Structure 1
Amino acid sequence: MINICKNFYLNIVQVQMINNLRLTMRSLSSFFILCIVLSINGMTCDAYLELYDFGPGTIGAPMLFRVDSHNGPTGPSYEFRFKFDQLPQYDKTIVLNQYIVDYVVTFESVKAGNYTVQIDAWTCNHGVPFDSLGTLNSTFQLTDSLTGTIAVNDNPRKRVVSTAETFKLTARTKYYFNFFNSANISYKWIINDEPQIESEGVIRHSFSQPQLNNISVIVTATKTNGSRLIQKSGTFNLTLESKDPITNLTIDGPTEVKVFERVQLDCKIHGGTPPFQYEYTFWMDKPYSEYINVIKDSNESFSSLIRYFSAKGTRTAKIVARNDISSIEKRMEISVY
């Protein structure tokens, strides 16, 4: 009787294990089928929309809207829908086989101000929108003036310069396909409230003392576009800080010390406009490897570093002094006995 009950119990356990296995297989099958469906629909990619509007835009000149869906080449085609809330006449739907789209718009007969655009992106199958990649809402600016930048030595991000150098200043308009390159353009430069004699788009200038320098250039462009005469003006502004470079670095300190004896290095920066940074590096290869690095920020031209060395050997000391526009380096040997 006991054996019969045991066999009956084992049979029940076996049936439950088989049923559990079947349920697991069904779940796995459903999971893999879902993954295949999502992959076919292009949903396994982490798509998101990013807009580059290359603005602000000038009324009457082309403005580029570039949308990147970051979806990769997973769909046979893509549909991008541009909807301008206040300017519906410029709404447009673009279908193409790339996940990045460029829409070039020339806004005419509109007022200067801020506007909004909504962009919807879809993947398509046989030309029919199938899977939404998302919606993006953005604000852009339209102006009736020329827009552009002033580049220093061809670098539009440079904001600090040396009083010891002469720099090239370049006025750059920023338009799609260089729309105003064929125009007749005039320039009027003003530096620290003083008009400059040069009337070209590129001038050279130096700054004799540390200070903030306000630079502006008034640009006027005139061109014929078909039967229309287009004339636009704009002022590009830039604030540059001029600083004196470091001319010398002197170091006062011992070249021979005992183990655990106090070592003080006194550094003096000559010239230069603060803030400064001091970097002290000590290293030794024999009798064992050692490397020490210390960085100090300071507004003072004088700095001291105190160290103790716990073992014999010759250390190479490298001291670097920097400010925003220059750096100078000195080296010395310190023998520890």
Structure 2
Amino acid sequence: MRILFSFGSPKEVPKDDQEKNKTETPSLPSVDLLDSASVLIPAARDWIKLSNIETVTIGIPVTFTVKIHHSTDTPSYQVRFKFSDFPNQNINISSTSNVVNYTVTFESTPKQDSTIMYYHIVNVDAWYCPLGVPSHEIGSSFSRFILSDSLSGFINVTQDILDPNLGGDSVSTTSPVKLSAKIHHSAGFFDSAIITYKWVVNGSPQEDNYDFIVRNFSQPKLNNISVLVSVSKTNPVFQKTELFTRTVHSKDPIQNLTTDGQNNIQLCKDETLQLNIKINGGTPTFYYCWEITNSSTAGRNTEPLSESLFWRKYFGEEPTNSSECEETEESSFNINSHFEEAGNKTLYIAVSNVASYSTKIMTISVHEREPLRQPEISDKEIESYLRSKNEIEFIKDMLTDFHNSSWKD
């Protein structure tokens, strides 16, 4: 929402702009508060956003983008870029577009100590110019960036596996691995450049001279990967060489999970489930988690909608960060759970070594305990009990007294 006020003159602008406006545009006539000349006061929803650029390479053009969020039918703006350490790169850009780009190339850095990570600051503010003169400030923003003399990039690792949450620095020994050299640059800057790649895998130079190689890591081990990237251009003159390294852990995949019990477990209320899960195959470290939920169907042992839903729920992209999962170097672990209520339950188990994962689903039927029944006791059982208690002689004496008494008539 914008509020309309009438003023005798536009809102005061910085002194530098006042001097500039004296020579570039005629001053506005003086009017009183009831004059029809109007100035729009910016609403709270007017703002700007500056692109976030973390690392800038010396000699490579970088583009700072400003997006202006401002409600008007006549866009006319002045965007001011001010660099704290590079005053020669400061600039004011006039535009009728809501997106303003400024491309700059830094040829050197004023900070000579390469051991210190120093952040440079760029401040940006945008002004509304309805009459060709800054009227009011729409918003301001700033960003900080590191200026580096090195190429910015990394080695990317991909593998043809079913779940995108796996991989990273851990790969399976059962399928090929693609290693790609990625270098960051402004769009089109390296189109005419000559780029060479020299790969080394586990200390052995590779013959491939491409931006990627495909290799099989068939044994569980740590694999050291490096690539030397050289870039050269003639217009503008540019030449840099950078070494990127990465360690990849190849692991045997998990085959399956087995238990020491049946898939359909029968328990009584107030009993405790004690279950041992064995991990078959796979290279540790293992990350495991489990969950017991209520189930409306007795004896259910089918998969949920997707086998990986439960896996993703707990592991996501970083298994080691899951607070509900535990890790082990062993090939087995125990599950213990006490049941205080009867009903049908479903037990979900998921295990990963990051290069692979396996899930298992089991059903648990918890029944009410049946009440104890008093057994029928025969005469022989009574006699046996009394004889064990040395009371049989007492009974015989009672019978003798009865036969000798007058009651028998």
TM value normalised by structure 1: 0.72
- Identify which of 245, 254, 267 aligns with 1:246: 254
Cα pair distance change 1:170/1:260, threshold 3 Å = same
Task: Kindly indicate whether residue 133 of structure 2 is the aligned counterpart of residue 120 of structure 1.
Answer: no
Contact 1:219–1:233 (8 Å) recurs in 2: yes
Q: Deviations over 1:64-93 (max 9, x none)?
A: 112345x34447222211223443332221
Distance 1:308 1:88, change over 3 A: closer
Number of residue equivalences: 294
Q: State the secondary structure of the residue aligned to 2:135.
A: strand
Bigger Rg over Cα = 2
2:215 to 205, 217, 222: 205
The 1:174/1:112 distance shift into structure 2, 3 A limit, reads farther
1:54/1:65 contact within 8 Å kept: no
2:277 to 267, 271, 278: 267
Q: Distance in 2 between matches of 1:185 and 1:177?
A: 15
Mark the CA change 1:327 to 1:163 in structure 2 (over 3 Å): closer, same or farther. Answer: closer
Residue matched to 2:228: 218
The answer to whether the Cα contact below 8 Å between 2:286 and 2:351 also exists between their aligned partners in 1 is: no
Q: Which consecutive residues of structure 2, in runs of 5 or more, have no partner in the other structure? A: 7-38, 112-117, 299-312, 315-323, 368-409
Cα distance in 2, alignment partners of residues 262 and 272 from structure 1: 31
Higher strand share: 1
3-state SS of 2:187 partner: helix
Distance in 2 (alpha carbons) for counterparts of 1:72 and 1:210: 57
Residues 112-169 of structure 1: CA deviation (Å, up to 9, x unaligned): 85644332322222222222244444443334443323222399x9632223232211
Equivalences for 1:219-234 in 2 at 5 Å?
219-225=229-235, 228-234=236-242
> Quick one: distance in 1 between partners of 2:364 and 2:140?
65
**Inter-partner Cα distance in structure 1 for 2:170 and 2:54:** 27
Question: 2:185 aligns to what?
Answer: 175
Residues 1:94 and 1:242: Cα distance change in structure 2 (over 3 Å): farther
Correspondent of 1:141 among 142, 146, 159: 146
Per-residue CA shift, 1:36-61, capped at 9, x if unaligned?
559942232162543323632231x3
Q: Write the mapping of 1:9-24 to structure 2, written as runs, cut at 5 A.
A: none
Query: Where do residues 157-172 of structure 1 align in structure 2 (5 Å cutoff)?
Result: 159-164=168-173, 165-172=175-182
SS of the equivalent of 1:126 reads coil
Quote the Cα distance in structure 1 between the aligned partners of 2:53 and 2:334.
51
Q: Distance in 1 between matches of 2:151 and 2:297?
A: 65
The residue aligned with 1:303 is 333
Measured after TM superposition, the shift of residue 179 of structure 1 is 1.0
Segments of 5+ residues of structure 1 without an aligned counterpart are: 1-31, 288-292
1:203 CA drift (Å): 0.6
- CA deviations on 1:4-33 (whole Å, 9 max, x unpaired) are xxxxxxxxxxxxxxxxxxxxxxxxxxxx9x
Aligned to 1:257: 267
8 Å CA contact 1:163–1:242 kept in 2: the answer is yes
- 1:327 deviation in Å? 1.8
After superposition, what is the alpha-carbon deviation per residue over 1:277-297, rounded to whole angstroms, capped at 9, x for unaligned? 22233432159xxxxx99541
RMSD: 3.5
Contact 1:190 1:215 in 2 (8 A): yes
- Alpha carbons of 1:185 and 1:310: their partners in 2 closer, same or farther (altered >3 Å)? same
> Whole-Å Cα distance in 1 between the matches of residues 93 and 178 of structure 2?
42
Residues 141 and 282 (structure 1 numbering): CA distance in 2 closer, same or farther, change over 3 Å? closer
The answer to whether residue 266 in structure 2 is matched with residue 236 in structure 1 is no
C-alpha contact (below 8 Å) 1:62/1:105 kept by paired residues? yes
Aligned counterparts of 2:55 and 2:147: Cα–Cα separation in 1: 8
Aligned to 1:12: none
Identity score, percent: 34
Distance 1:250 1:54, change over 3 A: same
Which structure 2 residues correspond to residues 61-210 of structure 1 after superposition, within 5 A? Answer: 61-69=60-68, 71-74=69-72, 76-108=75-107, 110-111=108-109, 115-153=120-158, 159-164=168-173, 165-208=175-218
TM-score by length of 2: 0.61
Q: Which range moves more in the overlay, 163-172 or 190-199?
A: 190-199
